[in-house]
C-alpha cells in the first residue's frame, strides 16, 4: 500500500488509524510516514478523539457491515446503534463505534428486516434479499441483458475486492 501523500486529509488520518488498529505503535507509524511521534498522536486525537485503537471509524464499521455510510447513520438515528464517542471538529461530526455495533446491526437485520421479495426474515449477513434465489428474482438484475449481467457481476466483484484489499493492506502495512 502506498503511503498517502497529502497530510491533513481524512484518507491520511484513516491510514494512520488503520495502522494503529492493526497494532502498530505510534513510533512505527511515525517512522513509516516520516513524521514525529507527537504529530501522529495529534492526528489521531484530532480525528478519532484518542490514540486507542479498539474502536471502529464509521468507514470501518460501514465496510464490516457491507452498508453505505448514510445507511449506517440512519441506523444510528433509529437508535439501533449508538456511537461509543462523538464529537465535532470544525462543523463536521465524527463518530467512533464499539466493535459490538457490528453484532447489534446484524441482530437488527435478522430480526427486523424482511426479504424484499418473499418478506421472510433475513439470515445473518444478508441485507436486502434472503437468498440468491430471491436476489435473482427480485433484483432488477433479472431484466438486464447478458452483457448487462456480466457488467453488474464484475462491478459487485470489484466493490467487494476493494474493501478486502484496503483492509488487508492496512493490516499488513503494505
Q: Parallel, antiparallel, or unpaired: how do β-strands 92-97 and 85-89 relate? A: antiparallel
* Residue number, 66 or 138, with CB nearest to Zn ion: 138
Q: Please calculate the CA angle 152-145-137 and round it to the nearest 5 degrees.
A: 70
- Helices 26-33 and 37-48: crossing angle in degrees, nearest 10, is 110
Q: How far is CA 40 from each of CA 46, 47, 51, 83, rounded to the nearest angstrom?
A: 10, 11, 9, 24
Find the radius of gyration of the CA atoms of the chain. Answer: 19
Nearest distance from residue 159's CB to Zn ion, in Å?
22
Q: Identify residues 100-139 at the interface with Zn ion (CB under 5 A).
A: 115, 117-118, 130, 134
What residues form DSSP beta bridges with 56? 97
Nearest distance from residue 137's CB to Zn ion, in Å?
8
* Residue number, 61 or 134, with CB nearest to Zn ion: 134
Q: Check binding of 40 to Zn ion (CB under 5 A).
A: no
Nearest distance from residue 134's CB to Zn ion, in Å?
3
| Alpha-carbon span 23 to 8, nearest angstrom | 22
* Residue number, 16 or 130, with CB nearest to Zn ion: 130
The grid cell for 131 is 437468498
* Residue number, 55 or 130, with CB nearest to Zn ion: 130
DSSP secondary structure code for residue 141 in this structure: G
Nearest distance from residue 121's CB to Zn ion, in Å?
9
Nearest distance from residue 156's CB to Zn ion, in Å?
18
Q: Check binding of 3 to Zn ion (CB under 5 A).
A: no
Name the residues that contact Zn ion, by CB under 5 A.
115, 117-118, 130, 134
Amino acid at each position: 500500500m502506498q503511503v498517502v501523500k497529502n497530510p491533513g486529509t481524512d484518507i491520511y488520518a484513516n491510514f494512520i488509524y488503520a495502522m494503529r488498529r492493526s497494532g502498530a505503535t505510534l513510533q512505527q507509524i511515525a517512522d513509516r510516514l516520516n513524521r514525529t511521534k507527537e504529530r501522529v498522536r495529534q492526528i489521531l486525537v484530532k480525528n478519532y478523539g484518542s490514540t486507542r485503537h479498539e474502536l471502529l471509524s464509521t468507514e470501518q464499521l460501514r465496510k464490516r457491515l457491507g452498508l453505505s455510510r448514510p445507511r449506517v447513520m440512519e441506523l444510528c438515528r433509529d437508535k439501533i446503534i449508538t456511537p461509543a464517542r462523538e464529537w465535532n471538529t470544525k462543523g463536521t461530526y465524527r463518530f467512533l463505534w464499539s466493535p459490538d455495533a457490528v453484532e447489534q446491526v446484524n441482530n437488527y437485520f435478522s430480526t427486523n428486516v424482511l426479504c424484499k421479495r418473499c418478506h421472510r426474515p433475513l439470515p445473518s449477513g444478508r441485507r436486502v434479499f434472503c437468498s440468491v434465489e430471491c436476489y435473482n428474482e427480485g433484483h432488477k438484475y433479472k431484466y438486464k441483458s447478458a452483457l448487462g449481467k456480466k457488467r453488474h457481476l464484475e462491478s459487485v466483484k470489484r466493490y467487494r475486492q476493494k474493501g478486502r484489499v484496503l483492509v488487508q493492506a492496512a493490516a499488513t502495512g503494505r
